[in-house]
Amino acid sequence: MKELILGGARSGKSHFAETCAAESKLNIIYVATAQAFDDEMQQRIQHHQQQRPVHWRLIEEPLNLLSVLKDHSGNNTCILVDCLTLWLSNQLCSEEHKDKVEKNIENLVSELPQLPGKIIFVSNEVSMGIIPMGEINRQFVDEAGRLHQRLAAVCDKVTLMVAGIPRSIKGK
């Protein structure tokens, strides 16, 4: 089972994803893609850490997501990836990865259906606002939109979080 949970900032998507993971009764691996480049981001990371059960395995991987999924997916495992938009931002800001974004998305989307176990992706829905100013901002919104569309096509379930309320978009 592959699931995509989308929502705006503070929409409740991480909490909902963590609840879904816990309800799976599988061994849970939490893949964190965030990097703390400033104090505010460090506080966000600490908040998320405090919300998670301590027995969940944590893997911090800002760039090489597919490798982690391939190495750790299994029939008795639920992998929760939080979040895809940070993974995408990390790639766009990385000298080594910024020219490989499209290929990395293609590889993720094409290999995901073959991976065993449950995988839950959390991602920020950023396409409901105005077109942002600045080239890198527009590129990010465009790439996030493409990523979400392609991933939603191969996921069994897609949920949109609005004000803490899950709305099923695909699957049950």
Gap between the terminal Cα atoms of the chain? 11
Decide if 66 contacts 33 (C-beta within 8 A). Answer: no
Residue 76 CA to residue 90 CA, distance in Å, equals 29
Decide if 40 contacts 33 (C-beta within 8 A). Answer: no
Decide if 147 contacts 103 (C-beta within 8 A). Answer: no
Two structure tokens written together for 96 = 């080594």
Catalytic residue flag (residue 72): no
Q: How many residues does the chain have?
A: 172
What DSSP designation does 49 have? H
Residue 89 CA to residue 33 CA, distance in Å, equals 10
Catalytic residue among 15, 48, 72, 97: 48
Catalytic residues: 48
